[in-house]
Amino acid sequence: MPQYTPPLRDMQFVMHELLHVVDELKQLPAHADIDVDTINAVIEEGGKFAANVLAPINQRGDEQGCVLDKTTHEVKAPDGFKAAYAQYVEGGWPSLSCDPAFGGQGLPHLVNQCMYEMMNSANQAWTMYPGLSHGAYEALHAHGSDAQKTTYLPKLTSGEWTGTMCLTESHCGTDLGLLRTKAEPQPDGTYKLTGNKIFISAGEHDLAANIVHLVLARLPDAPAGSKGISLFVVPKFKVNADGTLGERNTIYCGGLEHKMGIHGNATAQINLDGAVGTLVGEPNKGLAAMFVMMNAARLGVGMQSLGLTEVAYQNAVAYAKDRIQMRSLSGVKNPDQPADTIIVHPDVRKMLLTARAYAEGARALAMWTTLQLDKELASDDEQVRADCADLVALVTPIVKAFFTDNAWIATSHCMQVFGGHGYIREWGMEQFVRDSRINMIYEGTNTIQSLDLLGRKVLGDNGAKLKKFGKLVAQFVEDEGTDEAMQEFVNPLADLGDKVTKLTTEIGMKAFKNPDEVGAAAVDYLRVCGHLVFAYFWARMAKVALAKVDGGDPFYKAKLITARFYFAKLLPETATLIRTARAGSASLMEMDEALF
């Protein structure tokens, strides 16, 4: 069975040595009392829960899956999942970053993000249950009425109830403007919803007493397309005036999807047959309200892939240090053994270092992004809030798509390290590969994320958001440009920054004449931007490590070596990506459909 050790040392390095998060957070009135010891203590305890409670039931959950009783429409989660959730609630973990007005602890979102990374490493399928709940909490906190907040937020905050988002229908995935679910207004101010949803993660289960579904639907007079979508809160059990649970609502699980991975999470087909719900926000403005939850989910999916990359790396390293096979090409390394451990072989090291570099780079970007989110939500400076909002918007599609692409690469590499054993279920590596594959698909495929980045976030505002991040890169390059020891990191970072600027301009000019140029370049463009962001953070991490490497702590030596590996072996991918992005749409679009 795979093992998991929370990467507390690296988390603390990123928070306290790279980003100095306490100094940043103390400037926010809501977090003026935060301190290093509090953050470290919470994360340490969270790591124990992930490693000791969630990790041991991960493989069992994958093997058992969820079971639907078609008579009652109830779903039983795998053995141990319900007990683990009860322990999670008892420990107060759902409320970490929630509003104290609704029973939350009011800690920074950054702390919650660290918790979710560790839980995803330990058990992604289980973690999706509270993860979806937190997204529902955020959407209702931002757009719910006072009555809805009073009814639902305390229960979502405590974890007594869970939540979902019901978007997808069989004929429409990302193109939500095509959805058909209807909402009929009732004399008492409620609505009756009728329709069918699919692919609803955590859509039905036995972990909590109630499930709060956020459902997109159309009012009778709604305009066509995305401008005619409204958002409704539809509980599994109706809620009485005194907050107790009433009768079963007519929203049911009609089936469970049979999936490649994440078997422990119930991916449900949800049928609404006149289910009673209430409108969230304004009529026909539901997509904007739901985007609060969708954006949180996109960051959350990035955390899923970071978690899988980390745990796959840990297990592959342990195996590579133990498994003996062949002799080193440069001479015997383990003379007391009949063969050398496979970690001596260059390509095994390349696979391990790829996973490590992608995990540690992702952790730095994830924490930085969440810190910007905390500042966006809690700063009393309007300009700070606006700038942070722009930066979060810019990097959200990168966190979702770049992290998940990299996790697919990394988990596959780590399975390869195991050789034939990696293909065998008992080692657990093939589950990490299967689980990671969904992350590139849901919450908007990575192509959708790429179109969002290039089309909306970059070209849509003439590069204003990109320039804000570019200023951070330029300032770092200027500050470190005269340090000889930093040249191996600063020079390629500066070079890539210039190339991204030129590539963006070129694609923008082509797009004026042919919009397909955006679609042809977008996926490669996002990956180039992902490397730009990672190169920025790896250069910053290298700077910290260089200053401390002579102190004797092997942590800094390893960090510096990993930084050098990233710049030498992974960043050069951008040369090919830039070339293919510049190649344009002609070779993609000139073939007639009949010839395919």
Hey, which residues are catalytic here? 443
Contacts of 337 (CB under 8 A, 6+ apart): 324
First to last CA, the chain: 45
Which strand (E) or helix (H) includes residue 184?
A: strand 182-185
Distance, in Å, from the CA atom of 324 to the CA atom of 341, rounded to the nearest integer, reads 4
Q: What does the H/E/C string look like for 235-301? A: ECEEECCCCCEEEECCEEEEEECCCCCCCCCCEEEEEEEEEEEEEECCCCCHHHHHHHHHHHHHHHH
Contacts of 41 (CB under 8 A, 6+ apart): none
Which strand (E) or helix (H) includes residue 214?
A: strand 210-217
On whether the CB atoms of residues 136 and 98 are closer than 8 A, the answer is no
Question: Tokens 């030498």 map to which residue?
Answer: 568
Buried b (16+ CB within 10 A) or exposed e, 432-462: bbbbbbbbbebbbbbebbbbbbbeebbbeee
- Helices 146-158 and 109-143: crossing angle in degrees, nearest 10, is 150
Distance, in Å, from the CA atom of 172 to the CA atom of 169, rounded to the nearest integer, reads 5
On whether the CB atoms of residues 202 and 162 are closer than 8 A, the answer is yes
Tokens of 186: 């009732």
Contacts of residues 586-592 at CB distance under 8 Å and 24 or more positions apart, as own/partner, are: 588/516, 588/520, 589/516, 589/520
Question: Tokens 């970059």 map to which residue?
Answer: 458
Distance, in Å, from the CA atom of 90 to the CA atom of 106, rounded to the nearest integer, reads 17
Tokens of 201: 């993660």
On whether the CB atoms of residues 123 and 58 are closer than 8 A, the answer is yes
Helices (H), 80-229: 81-90, 109-143, 146-158
Distance, in Å, from the CA atom of 246 to the CA atom of 52, rounded to the nearest integer, reads 36
Helices (H), 144-216: 146-158
On whether the CB atoms of residues 212 and 156 are closer than 8 A, the answer is yes
Distance, in Å, from the CA atom of 100 to the CA atom of 105, rounded to the nearest integer, reads 6
Nearest Cα residue to 114 out of 53, 39, 18, 200:
39
Strands (E), 372-501: none
Buried b (16+ CB within 10 A) or exposed e, 272-303: beebbbbbbbeebbbbebbbbbbbbbbbbbbb
Distance, in Å, from the CA atom of 120 to the CA atom of 12, rounded to the nearest integer, reads 18
